[in-house]
A and B are shown apart, each in its own frame.
Chain A
Amino acid sequence: MTGVPLNLDWQQILLHLMNFVILFAILYFLLYKPVRGFMDKRKAAYQEMDDQANQNKQEAEELKAQYEQQLAAADAEIAEKKAAAIHAAEARAKGIEQKAQDEAADIISKAKRQAESERDRIVGEAGDTITEMAKEAAEKALFGTTSDAFDSFLNMVEDEAK
């Protein structure tokens, strides 16, 4: 038995060491690294898909918010335009009504004026006729017979009727 405890042999320790270093290299380069690389790539691919999905979702949400904002703005604009149109229509209706009322009043006043002038004319003419008739009647009473006067009266009425 040598002096080294448990018969430790440094040469064999180094051979074991060399063996393990080779084994480590084999396992690392042929197994660990490729498998790890595949797993990392797959993880990255799924992560990318997840990120893409999240980005798409975020974009869709932003777009939705934008559309909702636009929709709200359009609704407000429509309401505003509708109110303006109603207001304009009301104003126009009022104008038309006012105009109609004015025209009606004008027509009525014209008609009244015309009727008054017609009446005045008819009254005037009737006055003249009555005066004429009274004059003729007085003449006939003074200068002709009664029957003649009556005949002449009838003739005169007939003439008037014509």
Chain B
Amino acid sequence: MNKKQKIRAGIIFGVAFIILLAGSVITGLVKNGHSEEIQVVMRDAVLHETFKVNLFGLIEVNPGLISAFCVTIIFLVFCLIVRIFVIPKFKKIPGKFQMFLEQMVDLFSNMGKSNSPHAYKFVSAYIFAAGAYICISTIFELFGIQVMTTAGVSVALPAPLSDINGAVCMGCLSYLVIMGGGIAKNGIKGFGKTLKEFSLPISMSFRLFGAMLSGALVTELVYHATVMSYGVPVIVGVLFTLLHALIQAYVLTTLVSTYFGEVTEKTVKVPKEKKPKKQKKSAQAA
């Protein structure tokens, strides 16, 4: 960086700082004009009582479900484009995008193989889909797409998994996948093994929900305080969201593949060693 560039960068930084400072002072002077209380927002983030969205005029659903549909549509478009225009042009020596796709597929495939070596084909595909869904749907929150609620208030679409229904769906489906793998490989024994982990769907569901919700709540708190809405959300909101996206995707996929590996593992019967018969006392005496 030469001297001119340094001066230019300094000026830009200074101007930005002054604007932010001025904004903070001005907004601090203005009386709080929020239309809803923070308690209401946070309560709704957990319970989804207030803000509902009308789904095609049929039913009222949580905004998280709309987010889930949006994510699926995004994936559908992306996958169609990739399938039609990119995959047929794949080369033996991959380019950057091909390398990225191969790495993603290979990452989950290897995770499935290493955690569940007995049956990994289905679980690899499942954790690939689950990982991609959790990661992208959490990042989706960052776009802040607005929808109109039935209450007439505009809300930003949240991450689908910050909706308890989405998290419970993910946890229960993962448990069903694990159970299905156990039954397919070990029959009744696999079913029994899965039943032993009866707390798994609850723990997975609420882990996801809690992690997503905590991020959403912290971000909501930061956004709610107007003074902090300058600059801080860039770090808090984006960083929290990105970290949650990656961490939760990693946690759920690892858990599912590990439990899947456990229930699909074939049990080898070890023949019991026969205990030597105790000699009768009478014989000992003789």
Contact = CB atoms under 8 A, between A and B. Distances in A.
B83 A34 contact: yes
A66 B49 CA distance: 86
B48 A7 contact: yes
Interface stretch (A10-18, A129-137, A139-147): A10-18
Interface string B130-154: 0011000000000000000000000
Interface string A14-58: 111101101110111011111110110010010000000000000
Given A16-B165, A23-B129, 17 more contacts: A7-B48, A9-B61, A9-B62, A12-B65, A13-B168, A15-B165, A16-B166, A16-B170, A19-B65, A23-B72, A24-B129, A26-B76, A30-B80, A31-B79, A35-B101, A35-B105, A39-B106
A17 B62 CA distance: 14
B49, B82, B102, B165 pick with most chain A CB within 10 angstroms: B165
A24 to B, nearest CB: 4
B232 interface: no
Contact of A12 (B49, B129, B165): B165
Contacts of B68: 16, 19-20
Given A16-B65, A20-B170, A30-B82, A38 B87 contact: yes
Interface of B: 46-49, 59, 61-62, 65, 68-69, 71-72, 75-76, 79-80, 82-83, 87, 90, 92, 101-102, 105-106, 109, 125-126, 128-129, 132-133, 160, 163-166, 168-170, 172-173
A44 B164 CA distance: 44
A27 B129 contact: yes
A34 B84 CA distance: 11
A162 B79 CA distance: 141
A35 B102 contact: yes
A32 B105 contact: yes
Interface of A: 1, 6-9, 11-17, 19-20, 22-24, 26-28, 30-36, 38-39, 42, 45
Contacts of A8: 164-165, 168
B165 A31 contact: no
Given A15-B65, A16-B169, A38-B87, A27 B49 contact: no
Contacts of A19: 65, 68-69, 72
Nearest to A19: B68
Contact of A17 (B71, B101, B129, B169): B169
26 contacts: A8-B165, A9-B165, A11-B59, A12-B163, A14-B169, A15-B65, A15-B165, A16-B165, A19-B65, A19-B68, A19-B69, A22-B72, A24-B129, A27-B75, A27-B129, A30-B83, A31-B79, A31-B105, A32-B105, A32-B128, A35-B102, A35-B105, A38-B87, A38-B90, A42-B92, A45-B92
A32 B109 CA distance: 10
Contacts of A34: 83, 87
Contacts of B72: 19, 22-23, 26
Contacts of B83: 30-31, 34
A110 to B, nearest CB: 97
A13 B49 contact: no
A145 B271 CA distance: 158
A122 B109 CA distance: 127
